[in-house]
Amino acid sequence: MKILTASQIKEADKITMNNQEISSEDLMERAATQVFKEIHERLQGADIPIKVFCGVGNNGGDGLVIARLLLEHSYKVKVFIVNYSDKRSPDFLSNYDKIKNLSNDWPVLLKGEDDFPEIAMGDFVVDAIFGIGLNRPLEGWVAKLVNFINKSSAFVLAIDMPSGLFSDKVSEEEDAVIKANFTLTFQTPKLVFFLPSTMDYVGEMQVLDIGLDRAFLSEITPSAQLIGRQEARSLYNPRNKNSHKGNFGHVLVVGGSYGKIGSVVLATTASLRTGAGLSTVFVPKCGYEIMQTSLPEAMVMTDENYEMITDIKTDLDADVVCFGMGVGRDKSTIVAFKELLKKTKKPMVIDADGLNIFSENNELLQYLPENSVLTPHPKELQRLIGEWTDDFDKIKKVQDFIRKYRLIVVLKGAHTFVFEQGNIYINSTGNPGMATAGSGDVLSGVISGLISQKYEPLFAAVLGVYLHGKSGDISAEKSSYEGMISGDIAENMGLAFSDLLSENKTNPGSD
């Protein structure tokens, strides 16, 4: 699913109105009706107080239409106009008159703190104060109103996006942004819904199709793409019945040190569970028996050194080399890594200590084969590219980094981002239970397993992240967030593939 900027969405609105010969008020009615249907489907006429807070622009106009439709269906609705400006949009004024004609209970005009209404814990609050057009932080009594709503403990539904949240930058006033329980957004999700510093304001999210011009949406280049089941499925390459293990490639996993061989077990297991035809591991001698007993399906090669990797002697023509998990940063290991880089021509997958070696020895980056995949978590990324001021600055720095070295970066997080030159892919699967030791090792193995099967490195990264997250979701269903471990993610990879290929399943907000 495409993620568009505020200016692209406004252009889509304009083209839609022109091509469909409708007014902006008609489009507002269409969008707000979609919101009403979602509310009505969930509340089913429940007798609970609904308090709709409307700004005086078009987001407020949406709120007025929603309130009118709720009133027409006999809901207990109170409308509040947040009078932050003397200016009103034409569509706001038109819908204000409509709601005024429907009920004698006129909307309440809020002009300051003395006008704040009581909000009880059981209330249902609709936030329609500001939308994607906001370009400056909330101030004064309006900011206090937002904080007042946040502290009320009522259920808060944000329309299109939480008030106070910018579409293209991070607000410095954390207390002046609505913290929604749920956000119903129009046509396309917004990038800020997935950034670590802003995603908590959004709560759960659902995208509502409001019928914007299909041709425009299909042709426009998005700022990012959200990867759901439909997108992941389009990347999957089904197997030919007349196949053998040689058709599905050979993964070489290089890693481990004394006490850290388990990370190599996880990565190699994941590569095989993802479909690699063969997997060979190169570990210190201390890992030989561990690997042979833990994973008999893998072939094992060892370093001369018992505790660490010092000399990677192998003439294997692997389709992909996965390096870094548990390997440590000893000087002899760094020298061995440099020699491996120099002789490797095919894309590599680099994780964990491999990334840390790069951050301390930047000159080694020049030897990375083009389209290699780096899989950092935020701290590892910071050590690689330096500090950033906010998430948008981070994105810029990542893009500069990958242009320089012609790489793919998989930034792990609650929503894992895959960065390729000029493109961003955001994953929709995964859960908090995956914040456990070894989860990243599994991801590296998954991506490596896909590359070995002749998936382009970018597609392997995007599909691999999706499958990794889906396997984590399946694991959590079985074991809970707290009870799952990273080995579960590797073991359930087959079920993630099965889910990808099964019929009539979707990911809310992504398909």
Alpha carbon separation from 279 to 269, 368, 400 (Å, rounded): 9, 21, 34
Torsion angle of C-alpha atoms 223, 227, 230, 231, degrees rounded to 10:
60
Is 168 labelled as part of a ligand binding site? no
Q: Which residues on neighbouring strands pair with residue 410, listed in sequence order?
A: 418
Answer yes or no: is 441 a known binding residue: yes
Phi-psi region of 44 (alpha: psi -120 to 50; beta: other; left: phi over 0): left
Are 227 and 466 spatial neighbours (Cβ–Cβ below 8 Å)? yes
Q: Which secondary structure element, helix H or strand E, spans residue 124, and what is its range?
A: strand 124-128
* Cross-strand bridge partners of residue 2: 225
**Residue 255 labeled ligand binder:** no
Q: State yes or no: 131 annotated in a binding site.
A: yes
Name residues whose C-beta falls within 8 Å of residue 271's C-beta, 6 or more positions apart in sequence: 251, 253, 279, 322, 445, 446, 448, 449, 452
DSSP state of 193: G
Binding site annotation covers 454?
A: no
Beta bridge partners of residue 161, listed in sequence order? none
The answer to whether the annotation marks 209 as part of a ligand binding site is no
C-alpha span between 414 and 427 (Å, rounded): 9
Residue type, 500: L
Q: Is 18 annotated as a binding residue?
A: no
Residue 412 annotated as binding? yes
User: Closest by alpha carbon to 453, among 265, 238, 234, 228?
Assistant: 238
Spatial distance between the Cα atoms of 511 and 206, rounded to a whole number of angstroms: 10
127 is in an annotated binding site: yes
Q: Is 59 annotated as a binding residue?
A: yes
Q: Rounded distance, CA 130 to CA 165, Å?
A: 8
Spatial distance between the Cα atoms of 256 and 254, rounded to a whole number of angstroms: 7
415 has binding-site annotation: yes
d(CA 436, CA 457) in angstroms, rounded, equals 25
Closest residue by Cα to residue 63 from 98, 38, 92: 92
CB of 152 closer than 8 Å to CB of 124: no
423 is in an annotated binding site: no
The residues, ordered by sequence, that sit 6+ positions from 259 with a Cβ below 8 Å of its Cβ are none
414 is in an annotated binding site: yes
132 is in an annotated binding site: yes
Please indicate if the annotation marks 136 as binding a ligand: yes
Q: Is 211 annotated as a binding residue?
A: no
123 in a labelled binding site: no
The answer on whether 311 is annotated among ligand-binding residues is no
Is 61 labelled as part of a ligand binding site? Answer: yes
Give binding residues for (6S)-NADPHX as ranges. 58-62, 131-137, 160, 326, 377, 441
What residues form the annotated binding site? Answer: 58-62, 127, 131-137, 160, 163, 326, 377, 412-416, 440-441
Q: Which residues are annotated as a binding site for K(+)?
A: 59, 127, 163
Binding site members for AMP: 412-416, 440
